[in-house]
Structure 1
Amino acid sequence: MGPRLILLGAIGLAVSFAGLWLDIGFIAQPFYAYAWWSYIFMLDGFVAWRRGSSLLTTRRRHLPTILLWSVTFWYFFELLNLRYQNWYYVGVLGVGSVGDALSGALFAAAAFATVFMGLFETYEVLTAYGLARRVVIRPRQLAPWVSYGVQSLGAVMVTLSLVFPYYLAPLVWGSLTFLVDPWNYRCGARSILAEFERGHLGVVVRLLVAGLLCGLVWESFNFLAPQKWIYTVRGLEELKLFEMPVLGFLGFPALALDAFAAYGALAYLFHANRTWEHPDEVSQRLEPRAPLATRAFAAMLPLHLVFWGVVGLLAMTTNVGSLQLELEHLETLPPGGVATLEAQEIRRPRHLLPALEEPGRRDRIRESLELTDDGMKELYEETRLLTHKGIGHHHGAHLRRLGYRRVEDLRGADVETLYAKLETARDGARFPALRPSMVRVWVLGAEAEP
């Protein structure tokens, strides 16, 4: 089964990148989800091939819990981001119809369901290859107060991140571990504190490495995707790898610990205290317990859906910066221009931009659109502006009317002043979202361009 999963994942990745390159709509727009699930299938195949056991082959009973709670787990951070405002989404599928809204919701669920799976599968690969098996310290019984002290520290971390989000929002990453893992420890569930007590540090090391590796893959796929997120962590925007400030990658190892702790509690409640890990790799003694009834698990499904929906709606006016950009949104494109460009296999502004930068193709486009040199220049500058850092057509149209008709016009702009002008031009509109931090991303991006 392992080789077949590896092959399936490899084919999936190839199709994902081909669909992105060829701009096949139902593949290119949700590229991130296709690519991540293909990556997960490949990892699971490696684990199954090497060990004869994996999440998708012999431990499938954990999948409903992993997938469902992975989505809720990430929506919890989306809820917190309403306060932190550390990232936002651009190029999001339109919400003009029920079909578009459902497509967007399904994409979000498919993408967020990869959080637990991606971290756990990466951890499994590292475990299968023996990483940090011999990293041990002297076992030591923890005093009863330790778990409560750790839990109190977690509560302080979350509180500080919420009260002072401008400076201390990063404290949220890892705080869930400090809050949940002590409860796991006291209940006899899978626990990082229990691993420390036994002197086994391999689990923690592998989780930290898995988190960092997943972060690199997450951010690389996101960088290529038409629908993506952009970070707005004040003071860290200057030095980035993909769309992530370099220091921000430290949050991914902490996220892996959070996921491990969260699922330890879920396994205790819903899986008779049996973990998702390979049985041979669990040195901690886990006493079986009566799980909650399947009916209880199913009864919680509507609560999950309501939570996803409420957070998703709140995020639309706070964390969605632009919608999918279409050729129809280009105001400088003459009547009939969309059909003319599509006949030349140019279906999106993101494909029009490189075409306009090639002298030969630029001349053919100018002739087919019957534009003057000045008209072509206007079309080029508008396309650059609307595709710059996911500005999109809503904000792009306002910028152009305010006199910011080129990316270069954003250089040196005062962020607060420009934000105030845009808010006035929006005349109370709440969607898509606009924040000073978004404007700062545009200005810094313009200043960074050659």
Structure 2
Amino acid sequence: MSTTTLSYVGAHKLTLQQRVLCLIGLLLALLFGPYIAVYFKDGGIPDKFFNFPATTPGDVKPAPTLIMTVGISVLFIATMLLLIVPRLFGFKKPPPIARAAKRKARATLPSWFYIGGIAFAGTVVFTTLHLQRPVWLNDWSLLPLWWGFVLVLDGIVYYRNAGRSLAATATTELIAMGVLSVSGWLLFEYFNFFIRLNWYYPFSGLLHHDKFLIYAVLGSSAFIPMAFEWYQLLCTFPGLAVKYKFGPKVVWPLWVRMTILIVALAGLVASAFYPNDLFFIVWLSPLIILAIGLGMLGIWTPFISIKQRGDWSFLLVFAPTFLFQGFVLEGANWLSVKHLANGEASGFNPAYWHYCIPYVNQMHIFEMPLLGYLGYIPFSVYCWIWFIAMAFLMDIPTTFSLSEEYK
């Protein structure tokens, strides 16, 4: 199923050129909305406002409050219940014939599984030992770390999916994911300035500024591939192919979608004025704006099947992908430095990051506050939506899913 096929799922009168211009307009609104807000709020962009990478935290963040802790906890629990026990939310039990999916034939583990495993495990061991040399390995550790893990996941998918995987069957698509992943993540680095640095890189000074920029670009290339590899792996479990297939249809009229889109954009703009109170909006607005915009332009998204058939499979199988990956990311990050008794850290990893998130800075798992992991769920879906949007603009052919159950 190609991008071209997925681009015309509804009866729309807009031409292809008009669709492209509308999508570019949404992207420009994402970029310049908060920028214009800061410009008028402060009478111009403050000096060193876009200082990347930040080595120190931004403004002092509000401490956790009971209402925020309870509110976010309830939302987190509800999200987990939707993923684990969807029948609580009106999903029907799949009929026996739908549940009786056959297990696919197994292939042998491919060579890149072992190459990726050596690269990933070797880098984890090296950074965990906090060795200063070789300096080049510290400087570029993200590449073997994250791409090694991508190859490991892909090898497992290849084994469980009868010799089909992104690396084996859709190599061009995997490369495209890596390229488009860079812009997808740097957009969040950009938004981080407007919420006054919810994360920063205390050891980034170990690298020259220009070198760190290259490092950030290359390292972030693995984010979208990671999400899709987890998705492909989850798709190899037959039960998930039908777990969310018989859910409630959700059809919102145009005025509701337009209202949500405007509110999401307004929230992103307002985050420049209220960076602490609206810190969470940067994880929601890009997803909401692009998903609604793509749907209105007749471009396929994982939300389409919910509207048409009540099939939530695409969305809910993909949603936890970066939650799983998040534990891997945060664990490797935490292990890469020494944690001192006074709460500070020391080490040689220039990519090490630390969080200072308002209202949720408590009960940490690794560096991330426990409630902060909720942000990984919308970020998972954002990875897919961003890839769809960029693939459409650049006319990149893609299958979006290699799982037969989902086609």
* TM-score, normalised with respect to structure 1: 0.57
Q: 1:113 to 1:131 in 2, by over 3 A?
A: farther
Give 5+ residue unaligned stretches, structure 1.
284-450
Separation in 1 of the partners of 2:314 and 2:174? 21
Partner of 2:148: 38
2:160 equivalent to 1:53: no
User: Is contact 1:6–1:45 with CA below 8 Å preserved after alignment?
Assistant: yes
When residues 93 and 128 of structure 1 are mapped into structure 2, their CA distance, relative to the original with a 3 A threshold, is farther
Q: Does 1:266 align with 2:374?
A: no
Q: Is it true that 1:126 corresponds to 2:229 in the alignment?
A: no
Report the CA distance shift for 1:3/1:63 in structure 2 as closer, same or farther (over 3 A). Answer: closer
CA contact (8 A) 2:173 2:397 kept: no
% of aligned pairs identical? 23
**Cα distance in 1 for residues equivalent to 2:189 and 2:175:** 21
Q: Taking structure 1 as reference, are residues 168 and 139 closer, same or farther at Cα in structure 2, changes over 3 Å only?
A: closer
Structure 2 match to 1:111 = 219
Could you tell me how far apart the structure 1 residues matched to 2:269 and 2:305 are?
Answer: 27
Match of 1:70 among 161, 181, 186: 181
Report the Cα distance in structure 1 between the residues aligned to 2:378 and 2:353, rounded to whole angstroms.
20
**Paired AA for residue 90 in structure 1:** P
5+ residue gaps, structure 2, are 1-107, 337-348
Instruction: For 1:87, give the aligned amino acid.
Output: W
Matches within 5 A, 1:36-435: 36-51=146-161, 52-84=163-195, 85-94=197-206, 100-130=208-238, 132-134=240-242, 135=244, 136-139=246-249, 142-197=252-307, 198-225=309-336, 226-227=349-350, 228-271=352-395, 274-278=398-402, 280-283=404-407
Distance 2:354 2:330 in 1: 10
- Counterpart residue identity of residue 89, structure 1: Y
C-alpha change, 1:224 and 1:140, in structure 2 (3 Å) is closer
Give deviations 1:128-180, integer Å, cap 9, x for gaps.
22353221214465534444244224223323333311111112212212101
Counterparts in 2 of 1:12 and 1:274: CA distance versus 1, 3 Å: closer
Offset at residue 272 of structure 1 (A):
5.8
Matched residue, 2:118: 11
Residues 296-343 of structure 1 show CA distances to partners (whole Å, capped at 9, x for unaligned) of xxxxxxxxxxxxxxxxxxxxxxxxxxxxxxxxxxxxxxxxxxxxxxxx
**Paired residues of 1:43 and 1:122 also in contact (CA < 8 A):** yes
DSSP-derived class of the 2:164 partner: coil
The structure having more radius of gyration, on CA atoms, is: 1
Q: CA deviation at 1:53?
A: 2.1
**1:16–1:34: 8 Å Cα contact kept in structure 2?**
yes
Task: Spell out structure 1 runs of 4+ moving beyond 6 A.
Answer: none
Whether contact under 8 Å (2:202, 2:353) holds in the other structure is yes
Q: RMSD value over aligned CA atoms? A: 2.3
How far, CA to CA, are the matches of 1:257 and 1:160 in structure 2? 23
Residue type at the aligned position of 1:253: I
Q: Residues 18 and 222 of structure 1: is their aligned pair in 2 closer, same or farther, counting only changes over 3 Å?
A: closer
Higher helix content, 1 or 2: 1
TM-score (norm 2): 0.63
The amino acid of 1:107's aligned partner reads Y
Deviations 1:342-368 (A, max 9, x none): xxxxxxxxxxxxxxxxxxxxxxxxxxx
2:248 and 2:306 in contact (8 A); partners too: no
What is the deviation of 1:68? Answer: 2.2
- Structure-2 separation of matches of 1:230 and 1:42: 27
